[in-house]
Structure 1
């Protein structure tokens, strides 16, 4: 038993207590409140889809643009982001790093789970009052078209933060072991008090505070299992409150700026689209067609997995949705052919990294929103890099399965292939419909997702005749939770990136990066290594939001095309995200494939090697990313 175990006692992880009547009443009230928040968030997604789709029809079909759609969607979007973050918090679905926590004993792991809740609650209590002040100040601003007070939009932040604080308290009440809760509260309160008392010292050490807060505090909280959004928030709040004279309301303003960028509205809409194509059977139809083409060759279904992830990523934009759509269709047959479960999840993880640049990737949208790079250019430039990595993965598949026994496998006839093509054609057309709509100017990158949703609804109802209305509400709630978790990270990371810029760190970083030996090649090499590490520790979107605004201008200074640089860092980040032992994408693939993570550790090395070769090719040949930009 280690030291922490001795402090906390020898009992196992805490269970939900048999509550007294007042506590039970609070729990029931919490369930009703959670149910209401979920339904409101789901309704907001439906309204956003309808408003954006109406705007496209009015402008492109009726030639009568609706001037108020941007204002309405902007107001509703911040509410969706805030309430989605509440839903994610209540369900325990905010992104966090659990690799280190998972190695602890059950008792220590339970303690760190409580510490994570208390740390998040601490941040929420710190910022909830400034958020109300921010909303009050925004009341003096009115929107140009509808002449509404901006407080209608800005009040979403204090509402969401306050509701998350309420659910944090309810989650602590649910913990049966009050000794555990008390120890966690005392630990976090003691650390907060210690930092407050050290404020005079912090103000004397200048930019060393960047190491203390943005490296030290962030690393400790992230590795302790505190959700990444709250880890970023605590570090930024501490830096602003203890080392500068700036009011903390500045952090709320930066969170608002990061979370309400209208381009990011496509995040929840593409997440919903991904769930929709899985439910309607469109993904299954594409996979079946590819299997009919390649199922009879050695490693054929592995090639199908690579190709299916490439196609599905072009529709959904959500990696979890991609893997969940493809794996259940292919894995049973692949296991019947003798494939080992570990090799299956290893390849699934590798394809997740390979397809990070396939439009309409959420990461591409995020890059465009935080760096100002054209979303249309990113969508165009992302197709070929993903194909290059697909080729290198297929080379590894060929080597591994070159001696596979296919004596029991029947080759599909030409009529069967044509029949499966006819069935899959409406689904295969969707990625091209989405891309054409953006390139031809029919819809913006934000609006195009609504065209995809409308297309999928029609195809699912009229052609595939698969549409389970009972799954619609859970899908909308899941979309709200995932989107809220992503957008809260973007909000707090925007605050951190702004603080780094104001401190002068960006100028120091620019000077260091531009003076690297090797010129452009040296800069790209360092960027690749950095984003592989950042992708594994912070996940993709936080890393992009935090360092994209700092590094993209430097890339321009050293002569790297912004789209080329975007592809390189996104692919590097994807490799880190899906590479064990820290990459959370790998564990998501294991969960979807229902395979023990230990089984895939060895097989994934070869696939990661293939991805590394592909990434080096993409980095060395800029034309792969920029050749079709025109």
Structure 2
């Protein structure tokens, strides 16, 4: 009865448009009152969920992304992407995806990527003759690359929950992220040829080299983070602080996109964004504790294992479950609630934990662009000034592409485990 009340309250809050973190907190509070449990457990479990050294990565990487974006990195990345692929049919769409792949090494979050790249690319694509829903769909779909190519905030959360190496997970996401980006570029090209979308003029190798100088600093940032973590020079948390310092120096002295007077606003924006994420982690931990006390995760695991112990069927069931959950639940909350029980199932049937973490995160990233509650769809539709329904229809070919890549990553472990096996022998 109380479990039904818990999920009903949560569902009603979501339908009413209450933010996901508050929905989790309200549902947990209603359950605790109904169960006559002292509400003092709420701050205790919130603090327990937030009291993690690894979670300190989040403010660092969020600040680094805002500093690089405020420093003019988005324009530099878009200019480089357009110089490389702009002369091909559908060139601006291809540049949009390529820009997201480069920007992924900075933001680590899909929503930030949609907003940053979309604010530049969607108006430019509309002006060049692309349909507005298509421009929004490309931007939203490409943003899912952000949390797969390192650094990745969701993978940091998974590392916090499970004790898995964040460095290994960062490396595991690199190849799937590249496959995801290349698959979407192929989709853009096919649709562009079919619909007759425009192409730009080839500016020559010199133009590519000239624009690459701006994008180079973004690529170097990703290299510094990965090399430092994998080489054992610093922890993921220390890497986030180093990346923020790097972004500050590059944005202020090289790109010269912001002044010291802009710094307070950037710090405030980063604090608000980080605070919202970490508050969500804390409230989701309270919700997760209730589920654990009611043995819901164990019931999920037992139900799956009662159906089959075949590894490949279990992978299919996990994918279906996470794809469905991703359509209506925020990524961080879904990770906190579902990753521990699903990881237990995966390990029991012989799935490598790093492999599982990679395709689980990829699953939930696809959910960010899946109707009806895909957050990135809302952001892209708002920038393009089109209806959510129009963007939802336009994104279908990209969803098919991304789900195909998901199944490649899910059923060929070497795609995600190859790089970690090289660097972590």
Both structures adopt the same fold (TM-score exceeding 0.5): yes
Match of 1:509 among 295, 300, 304: 300
CA distance in structure 2 between the partners assigned to 1:450 and 1:466 by the alignment: 20
Q: CA deviation at 1:318?
A: 2.8
CA distance in 1, matches of 2:69, 2:304: 43
Deviations 1:127-148 (A, max 9, x none): xxxxxxxxxxxxxxxxxxxxxx
> What is the CA–CA distance in structure 1 between the aligned matches of 2:81 and 2:55, rounded to whole Å?
32
Match of 2:28?
236
* Structure-1 residue corresponding to 2:87: 296
Distance 1:408 1:523 in 2: 44
1:529/1:368 CA distance change after superposition, 3 Å? same
- Number of aligned residue pairs: 421
Residue 209 of structure 1 corresponds to 2
1:321-336 matches, within 5 Å, as 321-336=112-127
1:561 shift after superposition: 1.2
1:264 matched to 2:55? The reply is yes
1:565 is the counterpart of 2:356: yes
In structure 2, runs of 5+ residues without a counterpart are: none
**Secondary structure at the residue paired with 1:268?**
helix
* Aligned counterparts of 1:229 and 1:431: Cα–Cα separation in 2: 30
Residue 432 of structure 1 deviates from its aligned partner by 0.8
Following superposition of structure 1 onto structure 2, how do residues 547-558 of structure 1 map, counting pairs within 5 Å?
A: 547-558=338-349
Alignment CA distance shift 1:286-1:508 (3 Å): same
1:593/1:494 CA distance change after superposition, 3 Å: same
Provide the C-alpha distance between the structure 1 equivalents of 2:124 and 2:5, rounded to a whole number of angstroms: 52
Distance (Å, rounded) in 1 between the aligned partners of 2:117 and 2:21: 30
Question: Does the 8 Å CA contact 1:460/1:467 hold for their aligned counterparts?
Answer: yes
Structure 2 SS opposite 1:580: coil
Q: Name which of 390, 398, 402 aligns with 1:607.
A: 398
| 2:256 equivalent among 460, 465, 475 | 465
1:404 and 1:470 map into 2 onto residues whose CA distance is 46
Cα distance between partner residues in 2 of 1:326 and 1:505 = 39
Distance change in 2, residues 1:420/1:335 (3 Å): same
**Distance in structure 1 (CA, Å) of the matches to 2:265 and 2:198:** 44
- SS of alignment partner, residue 420 of structure 2: coil
Change (3 A) 1:425 1:229: closer
2-structure distance, mates of 1:395, 1:294: 12
C-alpha distance 228-409 of structure 1, shift in aligned 2 (>3 A): closer
Please give the per-residue CA displacement for 1:353-395, whole angstroms capped at 9, x wherever unaligned: 2433121111111111112211111101011111222222122
**Paired residue secondary structure (1:582):** coil
Q: 2:407 aligned with 1:616, yes or no?
A: yes
Which structure: larger Rg?
Answer: 1
| CA displacement 1:141-168 (0-9 Å, x = unmatched) | xxxxxxxxxxxxxxxxxxxxxxxxxxxx
Residue 592 to residue 440, structure 1, CA distance change in 2 (3 Å): farther
The alpha carbon displacement at 1:626 in A equals 1.0
After TM superposition, give the deviation of residue 403 of structure 1 in Å: 5.1
Other structure's SS at 2:395 match:
helix
Distance in 2 between residues matched to 1:257 and 1:364, nearest whole Å = 19
State the distance in 2 between where 1:519 and 1:209 align.
Answer: 34
Distance 1:596 1:509, change over 3 A: closer
- Structure 1 match to 2:313: 522
1:452-481 CA distances to partner (integer Å, 9 max, x unpaired)? 111122222222222233432222222222
Q: Secondary structure at the match of 2:147?
A: coil
Which one has more relative contact order, counting CA pairs under 8 Å at least 6 apart?
Answer: 2
Determine the C-alpha separation between the residues in 1 that align with 2:14 and 2:124.
39
Compared CA separation, residues 354 and 428, structure 1 to 2 (3 A):
closer
Contact preservation (8 Å) 1:516, 1:522? no
| Structural mapping, 1:52-451, within 5 Å | 208-213=1-6, 215-243=7-35, 247-402=38-193, 409-451=200-242
- 5+ long unaligned stretches in structure 1: 1-207
1:190 corresponding residue in structure 2 = none
Secondary structure of the 1:564 match is: helix
Per the alignment, residue 532 of structure 1 pairs with 323
> Larger deviation: 412-421 or 320-329?
320-329
SS in 1 for 2:148: coil
Within 1, Cα distance between the matches of 2:12 and 2:380? 26
Q: Deviations over 1:205-245 (max 9, x none)?
A: xxx432332x222112222223322322232233334336x
CA distance in 2 between partners of 1:254 and 1:458 (Å):
38
User: What is the TM-score of this pair, normalised by structure 2?
Assistant: 0.93
**Rounded Cα–Cα distance in structure 2 between residues aligned with 1:407 and 1:537:** 35
Partner of 1:485: 276
User: What is the rounded CA distance, in whole Å, between the counterparts of 1:578 and 1:406 in structure 2?
Assistant: 23
**Cα deviation, residue 404, structure 1:** 6.5
Report the secondary structure of 1:446's partner residue.
Answer: helix
Change (3 A) 1:296 1:495: same
